[in-house]
């Protein structure tokens, strides 16, 4: 899942990015309302972690602006103002969830995963395709009873493929998920990770669709 | 100071007593005059009456007989009860022999031989005497009245005026005491209302049921309460804001700590721990700034100008050289002219915050100059400067600028302004020729003092 973090405190934003990527998310950081607006328009994010007090305006105003313009991206508000009335007004302005500072990183990750599940219209925390299962909370895959450990990149790739079972996922989408806005990604880096993933899941598990992307396939082994 | 009740009581009692006493004195004199007038006319009447009686009875014979024994005159002693022997009558021949007298009067001659009223002293008693000369009979009728009786009458009048006073005075004093208390009841109720108020209740007191004399007090009190409520509201806002401001770095610390714990690689962990240290430093700085602010605002006394601006500035600059070096900046101090005296604590605090801001804003490799002159201190930097739109707000607490990349606590200039205000200095901002920022700290005429001046 690709997450946009809108937080102007450098240290907290850095911690969020590092912590969320440890939890299998790909996090992008912006520090102002203007940058957040731009990122929302151009990037494909699964959720936004939004601070309320930003140097160029209020996060709440930004959120209601998104909602009135028809942007329904899930938003978790982060704020130091965590009185009940503040929570209520935040949720009523269109936020999906609310965390008061200081918060627990694991709790934020769990809430983001829950938001991801709701987005995909499922209640079960584990993603399944055939006899293959992916557990986002533990970042491990299972085939039947066999447990498969995944690196962070492999997990991100498999998550992107298993989200829409059977669909062909474009190369660009996968690269975007893996690297975000980082520059200088080598052209064959994606192939390297696909290759490693095939080695763990079985050669037939991922089909290459030439010129388009990749597709997850059911296989018996 | 004497209580208002006692004061009112004393004034009212004294005034009433004085009026009453004046009335008594005046009444006594007027009663005495009246009594004298009435008794004098009675005395004269009595004299005339005796003269007429003598004529009627044809006492001419007796007069001619001259020495043939006493003349019987009516005794007045039973005429008026209680006044016996007070009124006395003598009949003398014009030749000077006593022809007769009433009752047991004095043997000696009463009064002078001129007709009309006179006073005389006899046997230690004073007499009022009226003399009638009856030339036809050749007799002189002398009617006398002891003054003691008159004095008794006047004393009776005086007593009848004074006795009621003695009876009524305590009652009057009580009434005055009670009504003074009653009159002061609104004050008492006002005070009682105030004394049972809780310290958190800063709502205005009701001035409508107050008597007009006390309304200014109520209004002044309400003014004070309003100012207190405003100060308390600002304080509460400040505390709430400060708490919120502290929560963000705390969230950063917690998040970085959790990252450090969960990090698989040493690099991620080290980075997280570095950030953690940085966040603690920043939080500490924020707390220090909050303490500075509280200290400045608490410290009502104007600082004493015990140091020169030169000494103060050089000390701060030397303390900040390390920070400047870390930012790859040159911190340069230059003195042009006489430095003036200032309080080292307040000016030092103000100057430190301004220089720190300059060091944070200046691009690496540039020079931050501290310029001292007799007009005060100027801090020059080549940073982007303060946006003109932000200028009115820069000294507000927690204001961090609308587009600033470097995010401070928003307290630095608030501290500067508060500290300068305490020592009567002002803070102003302008741009130099190359669009660098200049922050000026200038003493006002009051703040501009010689070193050592009180």
pLDDT of residue A221: 53
- In eight-state DSSP terms, residue B305 is -
Cβ-contact B309, B339 below 8 angstroms:
yes
CB-based contacts of B156, cutoff 8 Å, min separation 6: none
Please indicate whether, in this complex, the C-beta atoms of B401 and A55 are within 8 angstroms of each other: yes
pLDDT of residue B81: 43
How close B420 comes to chain A (CA, Å)? 27
Please indicate whether, in this complex, the C-beta atoms of A19 and B248 are within 8 angstroms of each other: no
CA-wise closest residue to A56 among B389, B359, B356: B389
Please indicate whether, in this complex, the C-beta atoms of A19 and B262 are within 8 angstroms of each other: yes
Question: Which residue in the set B253, B258, B407 is minimally distant from A8, CB to CB?
Answer: B407
pLDDT of residue A182: 63
CA distance B99 to B88: 14
Q: 3-state SS of chain B: helix, strand, coil percent to 5?
A: 55, 15, 30
How close B292 comes to chain A (CA, Å)? 23
Burial class of residue A47 in the structure, from the number of CB atoms within 10 Å of its CB (0-12 exposed, 13-18 middle, 19+ buried): buried
3-state secondary structure of B66: coil
Cβ-contact B369, B380 below 8 angstroms:
yes
A133: left (phi over 0), alpha (psi -120 to 50) or beta: beta
pLDDT of residue B80: 45
**For residue B173, how far is the Cα from the chain centroid?**
27
pLDDT means over runs of 10, chain A (221 residues): 89 91 88 90 88 84 91 88 79 88 91 86 81 87 87 86 83 80 67 89 86 82 53
For the segment B415-429, what is each residue's pLDDT rounded down to a tens digit? 888 888 888 888 988
Q: Helical H runs in B57-214? A: 60-65, 147-183, 185-195
CA-wise closest residue to B129 among B102, B111, B151, B154: B111
Please indicate whether, in this complex, the C-beta atoms of A81 and B244 are within 8 angstroms of each other: yes
Domains in chain A, CATH or no CATH each: 2-120 (3.40.50.2300), 127-216 (1.10.10.10)
CA distance B25 to B14: 16
CA-wise closest residue to A16 among A5, A2, A8: A5
Please indicate whether, in this complex, the C-beta atoms of A12 and B245 are within 8 angstroms of each other: no
pLDDT of residue B73: 55
Helix axes B266-298, B215-262, angle to 10 degrees: 170
Cβ-contact B259, B381 below 8 angstroms:
no
**For residue B417, how far is the Cα from the chain centroid?**
37
Q: Output the six-digit token pair for A103.
A: 């918060």
Please indicate whether, in this complex, the C-beta atoms of A14 and B245 are within 8 angstroms of each other: no
Max Cα-Cα span within chain B:
168
pLDDT digit string (tens) for chain B, length 454 residues: 778 888 888 898 899 889 988 988 898 889 889 988 998 898 889 888 888 888 776 555 555 554 444 455 554 444 444 444 567 888 888 877 777 777 655 667 776 667 888 888 877 778 888 888 888 888 888 888 888 888 888 888 888 888 888 888 888 889 988 988 888 888 888 888 888 888 888 888 877 777 888 888 888 988 999 998 888 888 888 887 788 778 888 999 999 999 999 887 888 889 889 989 888 888 888 888 888 887 777 665 556 777 888 888 999 999 899 888 988 999 989 888 777 888 888 888 899 989 988 888 888 889 999 998 888 899 998 888 888 888 888 887 777 766 555 556 778 888 888 888 888 888 988 888 888 888 998 888 654 444 433 3
pLDDT of residue B255: 92
Judging contacts by C-beta atoms under 8 Å, the chain A residues touching residue B404 are: 55
For the segment B307-333, what is each residue's pLDDT rounded down to a tens digit? 888 888 999 999 899 888 988 999 989
Domains in chain B, CATH or no CATH each: 4-70+83-169 (3.30.450.20), 212-292 (1.10.287.130), 302-443 (3.30.565.10)
CA distance A203 to B192: 91
pLDDT of residue A76: 93
H/E segment holding residue A3? strand A2-6
pTM of the model: 0.58
CA-wise closest residue to A16 among B279, B272, B245, B407: B272
Judging contacts by C-beta atoms under 8 Å, the chain B residues touching residue A20 are: none
Spell out where A34-174 has E strands: 47-51, 53-54, 57-58, 75-79, 97-100, 127-129, 132-135, 140-143, 146-149, 168-170
CB pairs under 8 A between A and B: 89
Count of CB atoms situated within 10 Å of the CB of A193? 18
In angstroms and rounded to an integer, the radius of gyration of the C-alpha atoms of chain B is: 53
């Amino acid at each position: 899942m690709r997450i946009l973090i809108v937080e102007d405190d450098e240290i907290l934003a850095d911690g969020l990015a590092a912590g969320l990527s440890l939890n299998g998310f790909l996090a992008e950081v912006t520090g102002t309302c203007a940058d957040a607006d731009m990122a929302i328009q151009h990037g494909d994010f699964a959720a936004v972690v939004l601070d309320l007090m930003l140097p160029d305006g209020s996060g709440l105003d930004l959120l209601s602006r998104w909602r009135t313009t028809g942007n329904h991206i899930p938003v978790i508000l982060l704020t130091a103002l965590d009185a009940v009335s503040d929570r209520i007004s935040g949720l009523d302005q269109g936020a999906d969830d609310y965390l008061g500072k200081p918060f627990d990183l694991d709790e934020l990750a769990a809430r983001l995963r829950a938001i991801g599940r709701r987005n995909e219209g499922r209640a079960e925390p584990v993603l399944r395709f055939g006899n293959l299962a992916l557990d986002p909370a533990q970042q491990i895959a299972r085939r039947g009873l066999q447990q498969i450990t995944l690196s962070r990149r492999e997990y991100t790739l498999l998550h992107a493929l298993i989200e829409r079972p059977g669909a062909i996922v474009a190369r660009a989408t996968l690269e975007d998920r893996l690297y975000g806005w980082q520059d200088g990604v080598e052209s064959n880096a994606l192939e390297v990770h696909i290759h490693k993933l095939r080695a763990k899941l079985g050669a037939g598990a991922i089909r290459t669709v030439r010129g388009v992307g990749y597709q997850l396939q059911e296989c018996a082994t | 100071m004497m209580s208002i009740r006692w004061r009112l009581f004393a004034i009212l009692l004294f005034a009433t007593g004085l009026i009453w006493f004046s009335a008594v004195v005046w009444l006594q004199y007027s009663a005495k005059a009246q009594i004298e007038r009435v008794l004098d006319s009675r005395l004269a009447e009595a004299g005339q009456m005796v003269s007429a009686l003598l004529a009627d009875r044809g006492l001419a014979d007796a007069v001619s007989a001259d020495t043939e024994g006493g003349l019987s005159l009516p005794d007045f002693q039973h005429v008026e009860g209680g006044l016996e022997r007070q009124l006395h009558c003598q009949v003398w021949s014009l030749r000077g022999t006593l022809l007769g007298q009433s009752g047991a009067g004095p043997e000696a001659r009463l009064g002078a031989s001129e007709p009309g009223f006179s006073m005389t002293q006899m046997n230690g008693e004073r007499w009022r005497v009226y003399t009638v000369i009856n030339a036809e009979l050749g007799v002189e009728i002398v009617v006398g009245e002891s003054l003691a009786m008159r004095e008794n009458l006047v004393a009776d009048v005086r007593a009848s005026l004074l006795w009621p006073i003695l009876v009524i005075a305590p009652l009057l004093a009580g009434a005055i005491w009670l009504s003074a208390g009653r009159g002061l009841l609104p004050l008492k109720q006002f005070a009682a209302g105030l004394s049972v108020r809780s310290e958190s209740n800063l709502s205005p007191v009701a001035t409508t049921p107050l008597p007009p004399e006390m309304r200014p007090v109520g209004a002044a009190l309400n003014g004070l309460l309003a100012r207190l409520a405003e100060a308390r509201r600002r304080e509460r806002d400040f505390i709430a804001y400060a708490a919120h401001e502290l929560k963000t770095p705390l969230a950063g610390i917690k998040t970085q700590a959790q990252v450090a714990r969960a990090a698989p690689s040493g690099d991620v962990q080290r980075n997280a721990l570095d950030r953690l240290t940085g966040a603690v430093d920043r939080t500490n700085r924020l707390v220090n700034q909050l303490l500075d602010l509280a200290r400045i605002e608490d410290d009502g006394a104007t600082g004493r100008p015990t140091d020169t601006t030169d000494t103060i500035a050089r000390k701060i600059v030397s303390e900040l050289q390390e920070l400047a070096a870390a930012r790859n900046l040159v911190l340069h101090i230059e003195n042009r002219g006489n430095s003036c005296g200032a309080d080292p604590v307040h000016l030092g605090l103000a100057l430190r915050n301004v220089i720190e801001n300059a060091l944070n804003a200046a691009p690496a490799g540039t020079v931050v100059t501290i310029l001292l002159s007799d007009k005060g201190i100027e801090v020059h930097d080549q940073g982007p400067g303060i946006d003109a739109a932000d200028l009115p707000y820069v000294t507000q607490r927690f204001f961090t600028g609308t587009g600033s990349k470097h995010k401070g606590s928003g307290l630095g200039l608030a501290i500067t302004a508060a500290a300068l205000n305490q020592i009567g200095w002002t803070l102003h901002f302008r741009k130099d020729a190359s669009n660098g920022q200049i922050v000026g700290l200038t003493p006002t005429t009051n703040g501009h003092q010689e070193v050592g001046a009180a």
